[in-house]
A and B are shown apart, each in its own frame.
Chain A
Amino acid sequence: MSVDHATVRKIASLARIAVTDDQVEAMVPELNNILGWIEQLGEVDTSAVQPMTAVIPNVLRLRDDVVTDGDVRDAVLKNAPQAEQGFFTVPKVIE
C-alpha cells in the first residue's frame, strides 16, 4: 500500500496538522519509504496469534468511587494560552 498526495492531505487533516503544498510534495515519498519498509510485516503468519494487549500481566484496578481532585481551577488554567473569567477561551464555533 502506498499513499498519494490526496491521502497525505487527508491524513494531515485527520491529524489536525496544517500542511503546505511543498510539505505534501516532500512527505509523499518519505511516508511511502517508511510504509514500504513496514510492509514486510505482512510476511509473518499470524493466523493463530492473538494481538498483544499487555506486555506484563496486570489487572485493571478499581479505585474507591470518591472524588480525588477538583477545586484547582487556577492551576488548571495556569498554562492556558487564553483564559477568561475562569474558562478556557476558543475562537467562535457557532456563526
Chain B
Amino acid sequence: MTNLTDLGIAAIRDGFKAGDFTARDVASAFNDAVAGAKSLNAFIVETPEIALAAADQADKDRASGSLKPLSGVPIGMKDLFATKDVQTTAASHILEGFVPQYESTVSGKLWNAGAGMLGKLNLDQFAMGSSNETSFFGNVISPWRRNNGDTAALAPGGSSGGTSSAIAARLVPGATGTDTGGSIRQPAAFTGISGIKPTYGRCSRWGIVAFASSLDQAGPMARDVRDCAILLENMAGFDPKDSTSLDLPVPNWEAALSADLKGKRVGIPKEYRVDGMPAEIDALWEQGIAWLKDAGAEIVNVSLPHTQYALPAYYIIAPAEASSNLARYDGVRYGLRDLPDGANLQDMYAATRAAGFGDEVKRRILIGTYVLSAGFYDAYYTQAQKVRTLIARDFDQAWEKCDLLLTPTAPSAAFGLGEKSDDPLAMYLNDVFTVPTSLAGLPAMSVPGGLDALGLPLGLQIIGKALDEQTVLNAGLAIEERAGFTARADKWW
C-alpha cells in the first residue's frame, strides 16, 4: 500500500474521494509522522485530535455524499493565524498561552472546506526573520542536510520555517504561510517545495497576527504547483472584515492550470544579477529561461532600475508598521504581563514588552519608532514610501514588455543555523529578490529548480502582474514539469 504521507493535497483529495483510503487513515499517518519528528521542532502545538475529528467528519460526509473541496485533507497552520481554542503565539513569549476566542478568516475558510488541522507551525517571532532562528520556541531544523557528510543543522528559511520544514519532511501535505517580504518564497526555495504569495488583498488578513499590514499576505505552501492552486482557492476571497480585502471572485486556478506558455513573454530583470551570487544559482536561472522557452514563452530583457533600493525601503516601512502594530501588546488585555514590585502602569508596559519580545522584534520596533519619530518621519518614512512608488512603477513599465518575470528566489541555498544570526544585515540581504514584489503587492511564487553541488535545493521565482496568479501558477507548472524535481531529504530525524 502507498505510504499515505507521500501523497500531496490533490492525491489525498482524489484518492479519498475514490475510496482508496479513509480520511482517518490519512490523518493517523500524518499524526504519526508529526509525533515522530520532534527533533525538527516544526510545530509549536500539535493537534492530532483535531485532525482526527475532521477526518471522521470527512468519512461521514463521504458516506452521505456531501464531500467538500478539501474533505479528507489534513494540513498544517502557521502559528500566525488565530485558531479558536488553540494557542496562537506568533512564536513569541508575549503571546504564550494566548487562546483566541475567534478564528482567522483564512483558517476558517480552510476548515469550512473540509481540511483538518495537524497543528500550529513554528515560525520566526512575529514573522520577523529569514531563518526561523528568532522563535521563542526554538529553532526549526530543516530536514535537508549537505551531502558531504556535514551534519550541521540547516535553516529551513523564514519566516514560514515550520511550514517549509514540515512539508519537506512529509509531516504535512501542505500548509499555510504568510509573506511580508519573502516569508513564503524563501523558505520554499530552501526546502525544495513550492509556495505562492498571491496579490495583496486576495487573502483576508483578519485574524492573522499583524506584522506590516501593507505587506502581509497569506498564501499556501505545498509540494507542487497544483497543490498550491488547490489550497489558494480555498484561502482567497473577499472579507468585509479586512478593509484591504479585494472584492473579486476567486478564479478556478486549479482547473485552468496549463503548462503551455505560448504567447507569453517572460522578462529577465538584469538588476537581479547581484555580485557574489553563486554560479550555480546563475546556471539554474539560465536553465529556467530555457525551460520557459521550451514551454513556448518568448524571453525579453527588462530593467527594474530601483531594485537595489527595495531592501532599504522595506527595512523602513516594515519596522515602521510593526512598531505601530505591536503597540497593542501591553500586558493588559491578553498575553504576558510582567508587573515588578511597586511598578506603575508605564513600568508595567515597559517590563512586559522587555520580557515578552525577542531581540529581533525589539530591534525592529526600535527602528520603526525611530523612523516615525518627530523630525525623522519625512527623511525616512515618506522617502521610503516614495521609493516604493518608484519600485511599483518599475514593474508597471516592465509589464509593457512582458507578462511575467523569472528570477532566482534567494541569493544562496540554505545556510547553517547560526551562520548569519549575529549579523542582522546579512540576514536581511537574503530577501533581496523577494522584497521588491512584496513592496509592489504582486503575486509571486517559488518552485524548486534543482540541487546545488552540496545537494541542497534551489528555487526559481516567478513574478506576475497584479491579480494574474494564473500565469504565475502556469509558469510554475511549466518549470515543475521540466525540472522533474523529485529529490527529498533522507530521513535522519
Chain A residues in the interface with B (C-beta under 8 A): 1, 3, 7-8, 11-19, 27, 30-31, 33-35, 37-42, 44, 46, 49-56, 58, 60-61, 63, 72, 75-76, 78-82, 88, 90-93
**Which residue of chain B has its CB nearest to the CB of A88?**
B332
| A18 close to B353 (CB less than 8 A) | yes
| A51 close to B382 (CB less than 8 A) | yes
**Chain B 8-48 residues near chain A, CB threshold 8 A:** none
Q: List 17 A-B contacts (CB under 8 A).
A: A14-B373, A17-B350, A27-B366, A33-B424, A44-B386, A49-B389, A50-B386, A50-B389, A55-B441, A56-B246, A56-B467, A75-B101, A79-B98, A80-B333, A90-B332, A91-B345, A91-B348
Do A55 and B343 form a contact, CB below 8 Å, given A16-B349, A38-B315?
A: no
**Which residue of chain A has its CB nearest to the CB of B243?**
A60
Which stretch (B60-68, B142-150, B357-365) binds chain A?
A: B357-365
Q: For A37, what are the chain B residues with a Cβ–Cβ distance below 8 Å?
A: 312, 315, 425
Q: For B256, what are the chain A residues with a Cβ–Cβ distance below 8 Å?
A: none
**Which residue of chain A has its CB nearest to the CB of B329?**
A16
Report Cα–Cα, A54/B313, bound state, in Å: 15
**Which residue of chain B has its CB nearest to the CB of A93?**
B345
Is B392 part of the contact surface with A, judged by Cβ < 8 Å? Answer: yes
Q: For B404, what are the chain A residues with a Cβ–Cβ distance below 8 Å?
A: none
| A41 close to B336 (CB less than 8 A) | no
Is B335 part of the contact surface with A, judged by Cβ < 8 Å? Answer: yes
Interchain CB contact (< 8 A) of A16 among B99, B243, B246, B350 = B350
Report Cα–Cα, A40/B425, bound state, in Å: 14
**Chain B 368-387 residues near chain A, CB threshold 8 A:** 369-370, 373, 376, 379-380, 382-387
Q: For B373, what are the chain A residues with a Cβ–Cβ distance below 8 Å?
A: 11, 14
Q: How far is the CB of A70 from chain B (nearest CB, A)?
A: 14
Interchain CB contact (< 8 A) of A55 among B214, B334, B344, B367 = B214
| B336 close to A81 (CB less than 8 A) | yes
Q: For A92, what are the chain B residues with a Cβ–Cβ distance below 8 Å?
A: 344
Is B267 part of the contact surface with A, judged by Cβ < 8 Å? Answer: no
Inter-chain pairs besides A31-B363, A56-B246, 18 sampled, C-beta below 8 Å = A11-B373, A18-B350, A34-B363, A34-B424, A34-B425, A35-B370, A38-B316, A41-B380, A44-B306, A44-B390, A46-B390, A49-B386, A51-B386, A55-B439, A55-B440, A56-B244, A82-B337, A91-B345
**Which residue of chain B has its CB nearest to the CB of A43?**
B309
Q: For A14, what are the chain B residues with a Cβ–Cβ distance below 8 Å?
A: 369, 373
| B441 close to A19 (CB less than 8 A) | no
Is B486 part of the contact surface with A, judged by Cβ < 8 Å? Answer: no
- State the 3 A-B residue pairs at the shortest beta-carbon distance, nearest first: A55-B441, A51-B385, A81-B337
Is B278 part of the contact surface with A, judged by Cβ < 8 Å? Answer: no
Interchain CB contact (< 8 A) of A31 among B243, B323, B366, B376 = B366
Report Cα–Cα, A39/B371, bound state, in Å: 11
Is B108 part of the contact surface with A, judged by Cβ < 8 Å? Answer: no
Is B331 part of the contact surface with A, judged by Cβ < 8 Å? Answer: yes
Residue among A3, A12, A17 facing the most chain B CB atoms (10 A cut-off): A17
Do A81 and B366 form a contact, CB below 8 Å, given A40-B312, A50-B389?
A: no
Is B354 part of the contact surface with A, judged by Cβ < 8 Å? Answer: yes
| B334 close to A91 (CB less than 8 A) | no
